[in-house]
Structure 1
Amino acid sequence: MSAPLKLVVFDMDGTLVDSQAHILMAMTEAFQSAGRPVPEAAAILGIVGLSLPQAIEVLVPGIAESNRDAMVEAYKRSFRAQFAGDGSHALAPFYPGTREIVDRLAGEDDVLLGLATGKSRRGVDRIVEAHRMEGLFQTVQTADDHPSKPAPGMLLAALAETGCDAAHAVMIGDTSYDIEMGRAAGFRTIAVSWGYHAPERLASAEPDAIVDDAAGLMRRLDEIWGRR
């Protein structure tokens, strides 16, 4: 009897690639376009992982829907403009070792890969194209089609698309939203400490593990799969 397929789903921003230059610039322009004071960088990075409308609502409590939507559009315009030149690859570099993990897992016959991100489909496609990751992910779930994290819809859709069972699935992310989403979907969860949420905030979401580097992430996956 063959071993069951394993599904590994990654968050994108703060987990695979460091997009904070994109995010901070776009959010700054969104707030300036609305004539609002720009939040501190830590506050902006703290909402990474949420879908964009929800992120704006966290940063501007009580904002009117029309004003929120205008800021969302300003953010998207800024993000698109940043990718209009030739610097997109440099602006969102991989964290050390993360590309190597993706490539290694993509080469394993019993592993399927996925993305679950608060970005739009267009934003994901830009990052995937910039880093030449086309064809590596069997399922890609974005904010265009699902409620914001930590609702489990993205991961439930990933299971349905791949035919995998949650018992053999792992969610990897850098925010408490990722971990809460993974737990709600019945996934094992691994938090990475190099992203946008502090370790204590990650710990409060109760992941199965918190890892500090790519080597530690691969070791933890091997342990989950009984390879060690």
Structure 2
Amino acid sequence: MRLVLFDCDGTLVDSAGLIHETMRRTFAQFGKPEPKVADTKSIIGLTLDIAIARMQGKQHADQEDVDMTAYYKSLFSVVRQDLNFKEPLFPGIRELIDEIGPRKNLLIGAVTGKSRRGLNLVMETHGFDRYFVVGRTADDCPSKPHPAMVTECCDETGIRPEETLVIGDAIYDMQMAKAAGAKAVGVSWGYASVGELKEAGADAVIHHPSEILAHIG
């Protein structure tokens, strides 16, 4: 039995446009300079308050960042409806999940900087809730690259980190996986470069979801 843990934003779904627009409106509300798309992409995967702090050059979140986080959360669903963002699956993801979801020798889960509500929405929208049996979000654990999201999923399923594969697009995913003692596989279709993923500790970097099959057997 093996455990396969997927990051969400940038790995399963392309949510950069939605996240950036919500971030842009949040920064404007607080009188901040408009962030660049590249700046937004660089923090996707982090817990939201830390992400907002990092975008402003701070290592730790202060009260203003906490306030901005609350405003962002209140705005997210509004922006999603206004602009009809659907957080589409990346090409090949549906076929992959439909292929591995029913396997008896695998358990599938999610480890994401999204809120629990945000993860549930993605799972329900794309019909993945019937396959994903475990998950940890920003509401449950410290921000990536802390290993808790992975280790708690391992504890819940009874599968050791050495038998766990973490798949993600961000350097934080790779660092989290290695800190937990799991195998780290980076994906090139997300928001970090191949070089950044390898430098962060990726055991492999793949370029299409179908390539994941070779790593899970």
Q: TM-score range by the shorter chain?
A: over 0.9
CA contact (8 A) 1:29 1:74 kept: no
CA contact (8 A) 2:2 2:105 kept: yes
Unaligned runs of 5+ in 2: none
SS at match of 2:4: strand
Say if 1:64 and 1:183 are closer, same or farther in 2 by CA, change over 3 A: closer
The aligned counterpart of 2:104 is 109
CA contact (8 A) 1:25 1:78 kept: no
| Alignment match of 1:27 (pick from 23, 32, 37) | 23
| Higher Rg | 1
Between the aligned partners of 1:53 and 1:22, the Cα distance in structure 2 is: 17
Unaligned runs of 5+ in 1: 223-228
The aligned counterpart of 2:193 is 198
The aligned counterpart of 2:153 is 158
Equivalent AA in structure 2 for residue 12 of structure 1: C
| Alignment match of 1:209 (pick from 197, 204, 208) | 204
Equivalent AA in structure 2 for residue 26 of structure 1: T
The aligned counterpart of 2:47 is 51
Deviant stretches of 4+, over 6 Å = none
Alignment of 1:78 with 2:84, yes or no, is no
CA contact (8 A) 1:7 1:111 kept: yes
Taking the TM superposition and a 5 Å limit, the aligned residue runs for 1:50-199 are: 50-62=46-58, 65-84=62-81, 87-88=84-85, 91-199=86-194
Between the aligned partners of 2:16 and 2:116, the Cα distance in structure 1 is: 18
Q: Show CA shifts across 1:106-143 (max 9, x none).
A: 11001000000001101111111211222211111001
Equivalent AA in structure 2 for residue 7 of structure 1: L
* RMSD of aligned alpha carbons: 1.6
SS at match of 1:194: coil
Q: Give percent identity, aligned residues only.
A: 36
TM score, norm. by length of structure 1: 0.90
Say if 1:9 and 1:15 are closer, same or farther in 2 by CA, change over 3 A: same
Between the aligned partners of 1:213 and 1:188, the Cα distance in structure 2 is: 18
The aligned counterpart of 1:225 is none
CA contact (8 A) 2:4 2:164 kept: yes
Q: Show CA shifts across 1:51-86 (max 9, x none).
A: 001101101134872211121112112212134479
Equivalent AA in structure 2 for residue 137 of structure 1: F
CA contact (8 A) 1:52 1:118 kept: yes
Say if 1:6 and 1:181 are closer, same or farther in 2 by CA, change over 3 A: same
